[in-house]
Structure 1
Amino acid sequence: MATALKNLNEYNKDRFTDISGKTFGIVVAEWHEEITGVLCQGAVDTLLQHGAAKENIFVNTVPGSFELTLGAQFLAQQEEIDAVIVLGVVIKGDTKHDDYINHAVAQGITHVSMKYNKPVSFGLVTTNTLEQALDRAGGKHGNKGVEAAAAAIRMLSF
């Protein structure tokens, strides 16, 4: 469903498992930090709200969205990490960079998830404009970080 028709903060909690003993790795792109910081706070708040212990949430940063895949792999390969949350933003510009980065990140985190048999949730905001990105980082469409954390929790319940 298009984000314009849904609020990213709305999700079904019915099948959530107890995450009090689970450990989460969050990898956040520093590029567009004014946006990714809000995404990260949304993810952390969601994990805490659903019972994760603060000391079991590890936040790491990478320079940009392209580096999210390797950051996710560094976290996923750690045995104590139960799920990884990937957070970044790619805004369409004058070139096709967004197509290449979005595709690479999507393929990369899918590969990491399959390789380590762990949930790696996709919290990459991919928009045409800065305004659209802000709308998905705590704006009128909610927070993609909340959605990514909820997806990680749900996958641990699988």
Structure 2
Amino acid sequence: MSVHNTSVLNDTGILQLEGASVVIVYTEWNEFIINELLAGSDRILAKHNITSVVKIQVPGAVEIPFAIKQYWEETKGTSKQPSSFIAFGCVIRGGTPHFDYVCKAITEGVTQLNLTLPVPTIFGVLTVNNVEQAEERLGGIHGHKGEEAALAALKMMSFQRQLVSGKL
């Protein structure tokens, strides 16, 4: 019996997104989990003909918002400026409060980016108690969060294009 949320597991509301580009910023930590998040997003982006995808690796989750902001600033006004960002990471609870600080920092950082940048930043950071919970989110009972993040990016880019064109 599947119990995962299917609200973003469909293509409803996704427009043809010619010229769209996505920048994915991901962490070095928990590489096998990150690789599967990336593979899931690659499948969805390819299915929707998004061929302009840039991937940037950073040391850890706390560094993701900085990298996204810097990429945006450095590409402002150029053809390299993306239509959306996706943040991928996996923070696994350990025996110290470090987990709580990292989760709070990345959540607040991505939220701030969504309030300041004119393009969406999708939160694809897994915050889990153990590796088993991460695996459940890589095609297990909780869906595939890499695929879902890519779908969210596509839907938000579609939303933005509809808003700009006056079709909303």
Question: Does the alignment reach a TM-score above 0.5?
Answer: yes
Pairwise CA RMSD: 1.8
Q: How far off is 1:116 after superposition?
A: 1.4
Residues 107-150 of structure 1, C-alpha deviations (whole Å, 9 max, x = no match)? 10111122211100000111111111122123343321111111
Contact 1:92 1:98 in 2 (8 A): yes
Contact 1:8 1:143 in 2 (8 A): no
* Aligned with 2:69 (options 34, 53, 73): 73
Which position in structure 1 is the counterpart of 2:155? Answer: 154
Paired-residue identity, %: 34
Task: Decide which moves more: 62-71 or 73-82.
Answer: 73-82
Which position in structure 2 is the counterpart of 1:113? Answer: 114
In structure 2, distance between residues paired with 1:30 and 1:99: 19
Confirm or deny that 1:35 pairs with 2:33: yes
Question: Counterpart of 1:24 in 2: which secondary structure?
Answer: strand
Q: Structure 2: any 5+ residue segments left out of the alignment?
A: 160-168
Which position in structure 1 is the counterpart of 2:89? Answer: 88
Contact 2:13 2:155 in 1 (8 A): yes
User: Moved runs in structure 1, 4+ residues, more than 6 A?
Assistant: none
Residues 35-79 of structure 1, C-alpha deviations (whole Å, 9 max, x = no match)? 0011011112111111212xx100110011111111222233334
Letter in 2 for 1:95: T
Count of residue pairs brought into register by the alignment: 153
Residues 86-112 of structure 1, C-alpha deviations (whole Å, 9 max, x = no match)? 000011110111111111111101111
Contact 2:114 2:121 in 1 (8 A): yes
Task: Decide which moves more: 69-78 or 80-89.
Answer: 69-78
* Aligned with 1:60 (options 20, 36, 56): 56
**TM norm structure 1:** 0.88
